[in-house]
Amino acid sequence: MPVYHSLGSIPPKRHTQFRKPDGSLYAEELVSTEGFSSLYSLVYHAYPPTIVKTLGEPYCVEPKIAREKHLKHTSLIGFNIQPEDDYLQSRKPVLVNSDLHISLAAPRQSMVDYFYKNSQADEVVFIHEGTGTLKTGFGNIKFQYGDYLVIPRGTIYQMEFNGAANRLFIVESFSPIRPPKRYRNQYGQLMEHSPYCERDIKRPADLKTYDEHGDFKILIKKQGLIYPYIYGTHPFDFVGWDGFHYPWALSIHDFEPITGRLHQPPPVHQTFEGDNFVICSFVPRKFDYHPLSIPAPYNHSNVDSDEVLYYVDGDFMSRKSVVKGQMTLHPGGIPHGPHPGSVEKSIGKESTDELAVMIDPFRPLMLTEDAIRIEDENYYKSWQY
């Protein structure tokens, strides 16, 4: 998030001597994105972040593609992903392309014996069910139902859950995740017409310095492989940091909907963007107030992009038989629209309580083997009268 933030102790000037009480130097680290051309933070460690003791054999976690090319409206029943104890093992990629991977996860246990770093992608972790704490060297962020956790690539983290019932919708982006450009001024500040502002952002807090030696397992993801590293010092040994590069969170419940006299197009729901895709939030809102308005969305011919909708909660007036955790994929090349009867049924309604996350990618998505296992094979027939 392009807002300056600082925690802990830092020296008055960057790249200058910053000493411990015993006279030795803290280790300065620059964490930067897009080379030295975009967001960065300066981190001060109790020990150099380079003390590797052993390196294990990497193993593959690349998604297994089951359907590379397709032109079929598809529905996945997300809650049919079975819970697993381990956080990483529970993550099941279902829709992927060269810009992003979309995964579902139902982890039962916190990460306690290892840390994780995604070095190939920013992550957006949407909390569908569960509460807990995202723990990083930058500090902690408490999360709950409806939170988007935005974790920049290269961030070492642990997920601590308060219970065993957790459901996550995860986007891995191979480009930086950022608020929509049209909502930011030339200085990066969110403008008055933005559906959320800096006050809604949850930033890291409660910085604790772990000044510890030992064997610390960090699983690092790069190019579809997990590399097991054992470091000699605790990765959360930050004594202080400042900058613009750090994990942050936004609740979907703090997204303020943009409404109008007539039906508003999907871009008004946009929440984040990456290269070649956007993430949108559909939230409870007043319906259109023109006397002849039709609240249900019109038929739409996907020409340039696929459309993914992840149903979170509420009543969806444009769809029949929607369940929590259901995911629909409407591929580019064929139209989609409201189910039969939904248009007339929507007329006269004043509001909706629907809650959903939408992703529009501008390159076609492929279905994985995990996706095929939870597919509703008859969804494409659901528009029949």
Task: Tell me the per-residue pLDDT of 7-65, one tens digit each, with 9 for 90 and over.
Answer: 999 999 999 999 999 999 999 999 998 889 999 999 999 999 999 999 999 999 999 99
- How would residue 341 be classed by pLDDT, with cut points 50, 70 and 90? confident
- Residues annotated as binding site for homogentisate? 336
- How would residue 1 be classed by pLDDT, with cut points 50, 70 and 90? low
List, in order, residues 6 or more apart from 299 with CB less than 8 Å away: 335, 336, 337, 338
- Return the pLDDT at 321: 75
CA 297 from chain centre, in angstroms, equals 26
> 183-202, pLDDT tens digit by residue?
999 999 999 999 999 999 99
> 78-109, pLDDT tens digit by residue?
999 999 999 999 999 999 999 999 999 999 99
- How would residue 251 be classed by pLDDT, with cut points 50, 70 and 90? very high
Angle (CA) 196 30 7, round 5°: 55
The pLDDT of residue 173 is above 70: yes
Greater model confidence, 130 or 296: 130
Q: Give the residue carrying structure tokens 């099941």.
A: 92
**Please, what is the average pLDDT of the chain?**
95
Domain boundaries, the chain: 253-380
CA distances from 378 to 6, 74, 361 (A): 52, 8, 24
Fold of 253-380: Jelly Rolls (2.60.120)
| Residue 313 CB neighbour total at 10 angstroms | 16
Catalytic residues: 263
- Rounded average pLDDT over 294-301: 88
- Return the pLDDT at 342: 87
Q: What distance in Å separates the CA atoms of residue 107 and residue 91, rounded to the nearest whole number?
A: 8
- Return the pLDDT at 302: 84
- Rounded average pLDDT over 136-142: 98
Greater model confidence, 368 or 1: 368
The pLDDT of residue 317 is above 80: no
Using only C-alpha atoms, the chain has a radius of gyration, in whole angstroms, of 22
The pLDDT of residue 385 is above 90: no
Three-state DSSP string of 14-65: CCCCCECCCCCECEEEEEECCCCCCCEEEEEECCCCCCEEEECCCEECCCCE
- Rounded average pLDDT over 325-346: 92
- Return the pLDDT at 84: 98
- Return the pLDDT at 296: 87
pLDDT > 70 in the chain, percent: 99
pLDDT > 90 in the chain, percent: 85
Q: How far apart are the first and last CA of the chain?
A: 47
Within the chain, residue ranges assigned H as helices are: 87-90, 342-346, 369-373
- How would residue 209 be classed by pLDDT, with cut points 50, 70 and 90? very high
The pLDDT of residue 339 is above 80: yes
- Return the pLDDT at 318: 62
Dig out the tokens for 382 from the structure.
Answer: 């659901």
Greater model confidence, 172 or 289: 172
Q: Give the residue carrying structure tokens 């040994």.
A: 237
- Rounded average pLDDT over 350-372: 95
- Residues annotated as binding site for Fe cation? 300, 306, 336
Beta bridge partners of 272: 279
State the amino acid at position 247 in one-letter form: P
Sheet containing strand 270-274, strands side by side: 270-274, 277-282, 355-361, 307-313, 326-330, 74-77, 375-376
- Return the pLDDT at 350: 86
- How would residue 298 be classed by pLDDT, with cut points 50, 70 and 90? confident
- Rounded average pLDDT over 259-287: 94
- Residues annotated as binding site? 300, 306, 336
DSSP 174: S
Cβ–Cβ under 8 Å, residues 73 and 334: yes
- Return the pLDDT at 43: 98
- Rounded average pLDDT over 197-221: 97
